[in-house]
Amino acid sequence: MANVRKFCTAGPVRPEWHYLLSPLERLDLPLLMGLIADGKYFVLHAPRQTGKTSCLGALTAHLNSTGAYRAIYVNLEPGQAARDDLAVAMRSIAYEIGAEALRTLGDPFPESVRERVLAAAGPVGSLRALLAEWAAHSPLPLVVLFDEVDSLVGDSLISLLRQIRSGYVDRPSGFPQSVVLCGVRDVRDYRIHGTKEIVTGGSAFNIKAESLRLGDFTPEQIRELYQQHTASTGQVFDEAVYPLVWRYTRGQPWLVNALAYEACFRMPDGMDRARPVTAAVVEQAKENLILRRDTHLDQLSDKLREDRVRRVMQPIVSGEDRQPEEQSDDANYAIDLGLIRRGPEGLEIANAIYAEVIPREMTFEVQTDLLGTHKTAWYVDDRGRLDMHGLMKAFQQFFRENSEHWLQRFDYREAGPQLLMQAFLQRIVNGGGRIDREYGLGRRRTDLLIQWKDQRVVVELKLLHKSLDATIEAGLRQTAGYMEIAGAAEGHLVIFDRRSEAGWDRKIFHRMEGAISVWGM
């Protein structure tokens, strides 16, 4: 039986197993070939699971097909376990170079001289010596593509960068014509704690000519990928699917593939090839991915704990007036990780799925704690509709009794009130609906759209700014505007008063302003 191709959600793409876009078409090939021809050393970086390895493999094959170069791809991840043990790390790297030269080029030379070079040059010089001897022996200029560079740690990473830098002047006859460093981060963001002070990658590798980022899929590429499934199986995608997938993913390759894999190969409604894949199926596929906390999404929690990420992400999540500096090292780092992007109004969370996942990850402990104390059924009326007034009133009391306890436990303390409410709502709405989120950076607001069956409810979270009357006035305008955009008939404006001197009797209130309920917390 012929193998059925599927959407790739783990590891490099394989043409015989997976639908795929041409890796070379995702690269700016003329630019890369120009850099290599000019003998440049450069960086290619992208977030995890965006296709770096596939693109590097395709670039290696393309370079060898030209007849002008001899190129190998070297994965440095095996050296990660060596950490600061330089001898073990360099032996691992030398082994990988020898194995790849033999596998890709049929060239036994690096492997044949490896042990002699390791013994003669020692850990601090063995990589340079090995590459120098091989370049001198090679009939064509060498190109070495190092992947997972930032997986190395401490002295191992410092030594790798400095040995490459020291051999740079001898290229191409005595060192590779070009070296490409690939990883999640740009070399400038390598923070190497192997000495008494932090060494940055930029200082250890100041010969970098360019820093290139592998881009996400375009809307056209999403369509091209999905239509490969249609060509293979006959199953079509409704036209409404394409803008929806773009809105949810912004072209993040893993998300694009994972949504389609979930919809077409895991969900019963999508596995029937006679039925089209609809927007409703994709909506459910998105919820399944988030609730299951697939590996890619689960990994976000580790990134969110980093101080450099927190400094950028906190004002976005809390809607503070303070706009993170768009060109700061921290902002560039978070962009490199794929967490945020530069939007038309400044920095924003990279895509709609991350915008849902990130607050859930930040409040996972709260949601777990609420499992036994707040049930969805308590807030559903006899008609099956969500009792938003009862739900908001319950949260108001919950916030009064528990906010001090929970806010002290959040890593993102400044965004604590908004996160606590999102956790409470998420716990209830998980029983039959969903929440869409919009973050109003610099406008002290977070917009939530609760969708429960045919019910659409806007909840606007706003920080008290200046006077209460002015904050409510601005909040009412914003809530009404979002209700109109979302087609919602019900709106709730929540004002969080973070002033320590204000007592609960002043903070807690409820009043109606036309069709909008205003809640003080």
* DSSP collapsed to 3 states, 301-356: HHHHCCHHHHHHHHHHHHCCCCCCCCCCHHHHHHHHCCCEEEECCEEEECCHHHHH
For residues 178 and 213, the model is more confident at 178
Neighbours of 246 (CB within 10 A): 18
Is the residue at 68 inside a domain?
yes
Q: Are residues 36 and 109 in the same domain?
A: yes
Strand-pair category, 199-200 with 191-192: antiparallel
* Calpha distance 211→44 (Å, rounded): 6
CA distances from 285 to 125, 282, 329, 361, 436 (A): 52, 5, 35, 19, 15
Q: Nearest CA to 396 among 309, 494, 306, 483?
A: 494
Q: What is the DSSP letter of 18?
A: B
For residues 17 and 314, the model is more confident at 17
For residues 443 and 93, the model is more confident at 93
Q: Are residues 274 and 374 in the same domain?
A: no
Angle between helices 86-100 and 154-167 (to 10 degrees): 50
Would you state the pLDDT for residue 171?
Answer: 95
Would you state the pLDDT for residue 177?
Answer: 97
Select from 192, 213, 234 the last residue of a domain.
Answer: 213
Q: Are residues 364 and 489 in the same domain?
A: yes
CA distances from 360 to 19, 249, 319, 423, 451 (A): 31, 17, 17, 7, 17
Q: Residue 226 is part of which domain span?
A: 219-298
Q: Are residues 275 and 290 in the same domain?
A: yes
Q: Are residues 196 and 56 in the same domain?
A: yes
Is the residue at 485 inside a domain?
yes
CA distances from 188 to 84, 98, 150, 516 (A): 20, 29, 11, 49
Q: Are residues 192 and 274 in the same domain?
A: no
Q: What is the DSSP letter of 237?
A: B
* 185: helix, strand or coil: coil
Q: Please, which pLDDT band fits residue 190 given cuts at 50, 70 and 90?
A: low
Mean pLDDT, range 72-77, rounded to an integer: 95
Q: For the domain that residue 171 is a member of, what is the CATH number?
A: 3.40.50.300
Angle between helices 416-429 and 307-318 (to 10 degrees): 70
Would you state the pLDDT for residue 195?
Answer: 46
| Most confident listed range (20-29, 90-99, 283-292, 438-447) | 90-99
Is the residue at 347 inside a domain?
no
* Calpha distance 89→112 (Å, rounded): 19
In this structure, of 39-53, 219-233, 429-443, the range with the lowest mean pLDDT score is: 429-443
Asked if the model's pLDDT at residue 201 lies above 60, the reply is no
Asked if the model's pLDDT at residue 196 lies above 80, the reply is no
Q: Are residues 361 and 501 in the same domain?
A: yes
Is the residue at 5 inside a domain?
no
CA-based diameter of the chain, in Å? 83
Asked if the model's pLDDT at residue 440 lies above 70, the reply is no
End-to-end CA distance of the chain: 63
Q: Please, which pLDDT band fits residue 220 given cuts at 50, 70 and 90?
A: very high
Q: Residue 131: CB partners within 8 Å, gap ≥ 6?
A: 97, 142, 144, 164, 167, 175, 176
Q: Residue 376: CB partners within 8 Å, gap ≥ 6?
A: 427, 428, 429, 430, 431, 432
Would you state the pLDDT for residue 191?
Answer: 56
Would you state the pLDDT for residue 324?
Answer: 57
For residues 501 and 37, the model is more confident at 37
Select from 186, 213, 240 the last residue of a domain.
Answer: 213
For residues 347 and 18, the model is more confident at 18
Q: Are residues 290 and 364 in the same domain?
A: no
Q: Are residues 440 and 504 in the same domain?
A: yes
Q: Are residues 173 and 269 in the same domain?
A: no
Would you state the pLDDT for residue 197?
Answer: 47
| Most confident listed range (181-190, 210-219, 468-477, 499-508) | 468-477
The tally of domains found in the chain comes to 3
Select from 282, 298, 314 the last residue of a domain.
Answer: 298
Is the residue at 119 inside a domain?
yes
| Most confident listed range (50-64, 130-144, 323-337, 485-499) | 130-144
Q: Are residues 440 and 393 in the same domain?
A: yes
Mean pLDDT, range 54-59, rounded to an integer: 94
Q: Are residues 97 and 155 in the same domain?
A: yes
pLDDT digits (tens, 9 = 90+) for 105-114: 999 999 999 9
pLDDT digits (tens, 9 = 90+) for 230-284: 999 999 999 999 999 999 999 999 999 999 999 999 999 899 999 999 999 999 9
Asked if the model's pLDDT at residue 1 lies above 50, the reply is no
Is the residue at 310 inside a domain?
no
Is the residue at 328 inside a domain?
no
Strand-pair category, 70-75 with 142-147: parallel
Q: In what order do the strands lie in the sheet with 509-513?
A: 433-440, 445-452, 455-463, 490-496, 516-520, 509-513
Would you state the pLDDT for residue 284?
Answer: 92
Is the residue at 125 inside a domain?
yes
Give the predicted TM-score (pTM) of the model: 0.83
